[in-house]
Amino acid sequence: MAVVGPGSPSALHQANLARVLAAVSGAHDGLTQAEIGRQTGLSAASVTNLVRQLATSGEVAVTWELRAGRRSRVVTPTPAHRFVIGLDLGRTHIRGGVATLDHRLLAQQYRPMETEPSVSDTLAKCADLMAVLLHQASLTRTDIAAMVVGVPGPLDSASGEIGAGAVLPELSGIHLERRFSEALDFPVVVENDANLGALGEFTWATAAGPAAPQVYVRLSTGIGCGIVIDGSRLWRGASGTAGELGHISLDPSGRLCRCGNRGCLETTASTPALLENLSEAMERPVTLPEWLAMATRGQSASVRLLEEMGRHVGAAIASLVNLINPAVVVIGGPVTASGDLLLAPVKQAIIQRSMPSPGAVVKVRLPRHPDLSELHGALALAATHAPPGFNT
């Protein structure tokens, strides 16, 4: 809506539109026009005119329903005309998207990241990507209800900071939501990327899942894990860092991990650790796409490393299966492009290492939309943070 001077008739009209939309947005089942009048103090004629304008612009829908024994016009907000932004920030990329509150993706962008960028460079790239997404979707900032940024690493709910040993060390020790909000000039919610992957897999444009826990494991530069309970609710733990599967110690005398412990799962099953092993064996640097291509062709060292990765990850997941008895485990991340070369040893290790009852019921699969789980989760979480009546 246009910006107008305070106190003018146009400004009063805009304020009344906002009051009506805020009242309707705050009602679970919509409001009759009479109820809108009582809540806002506006006359019946004013409510009728304001509702007509909001319906014409697509911001509300009007239907006839039976309320209190009478046939009444019921006004409800139109989710398809509300928008959110999500950003998925990784070691090597930024992926962003704009969607409606009812999970319709309008625009998306992908940008590679430089190695070890500064905080200012990272924030500048996020701001630039936000501007590109708004332009691509033909929207302005005033159209956006909420924004979520996913980051790889444990987020402490008390301090608002990412933990030590994070995949993006340049972001450690700063209040992320404050810094992102200042840099993007927009309120930002920051969340762990594996948590967002879980939300994306289990709540994005799908029916509510089972009540039993559902788990998303992301295999990449680090190994993260998100847990959804009750079909759509993230389990964050007491301090917000639940699900750090990559820092389960499998060998107390093993390699030193970036978190400070030894023998963590990430030291034996993260992609950098395995690429280092493969590069040493081949006596030259090997990239992740090259590794997966060689494994697909049956190159023995490449296949062997995927199998080892699958066994280590499956053993860690088996402990999780015994502990929380999940219904579904989704294995995500770039390395899952290898398909069953990775998934088969993961499943085998889970069966071998978990108790018979929880191991028999858990389903293990790949993501529905590879590479987009975290972005979908960011958009899904942003939709839950949309304030009523924002699009005014």
Residues 235, 269 within the same domain: yes
Looking up residue 73, the CATH number of its domain turns out to be 1.10.10.10
Tell me which of 129-143, 186-200, 327-341 is least confident: 129-143
Q: What was the pLDDT predicted at 90? A: 85
Beta bridge partners of residue 149, listed in sequence order: 87, 190
Pairing of strands 83-89, 93-100: antiparallel
Query: Tokens 């430089």 label which residue?
Result: 114
Into how many domains does the chain fold? 3
Residue 168 maps to a domain: yes
Predicted pLDDT of residue 292:
95
Same domain, 147 and 215: no
Residues 66-82, buried b or exposed e (16+ Cβ, 10 A)?
A: ebeeeebbbbbbbeebb
Are residues 101 and 191 both part of a single domain?
yes
DSSP readout, 184-215?
A: HTS--EEEEHHHHHHHHHHHTTS----SS-EE
**Domain membership flag for residue 72:** yes
Task: Tell me, yes or no, whether 72 and 124 share the same domain.
Answer: no
- Asked if residue 53 belongs to a domain, the reply is yes
Q: Which residues contact 240 (CB under 8 A, 6 or more apart)?
A: 154, 155, 156, 157, 158
In a domain, 246, yes or no: yes
Give domain status of residue 185, yes or no.
Answer: yes
* 226-282 pLDDT per residue, tens: 999 987 889 999 988 898 899 998 888 889 988 889 999 999 999 999 999 999 999
Residues 60 and 143 in one domain: no
Same domain, 241 and 341: yes
Q: Which of 77, 96, 115 is the last residue before a domain boundary? A: 77
Half-sphere CA count of 52, side-chain side, radius 13 A = 6
CATH number for the domain that contains residue 167: 3.30.420.40
In a shared domain, residues 120 and 105: yes
| 379 shares a domain with 262 | no
DSSP 170: G
Transcribe 306-324 into DSSP letters.
Answer: HHHHHHHHHHHHHHHHHHH
Q: Is residue 390 part of a domain?
A: no
pLDDT higher than 60, residue 391: no
β 214-219/328-332 pair status: parallel
Is the same domain home to 190 and 63? no
Domain that holds residue 32: 9-77
Q: Per-residue pLDDT averaged across 341-357, rounded?
A: 96
Domain assignment present for residue 4? The answer is no
The domain boundary residue, chosen from 34, 49, 77: 77
pLDDT score for 388: 56
* Chain segment 267-292, per-residue pLDDT in tens: 999 999 999 999 999 999 999 999 99
Q: 102 with 219, same domain?
A: no
Q: 17 or 124: which carries more pLDDT confidence?
A: 124
Which residue type sits at 378?
A: A
pLDDT at 35 over 50: yes
What's the confidence (pLDDT) of residue 163? 66
Is the pLDDT score of 169 beyond 80?
no
Q: Look at residue 160 and tell me if it is in a domain.
A: yes
Confidence of residue 392 (pLDDT cuts 50, 70, 90): very low
279 and 230 together in one domain: yes
Are the C-beta atoms of 344 and 313 separated by less than 8 Å?
no
Query: Are 176 and 318 in a shared domain?
Result: no
Tell me the helices (H) and strands (E) count for the chain, helix number first: 13, 13
Q: Give the 3-state secondary structure of residue 62.
A: strand
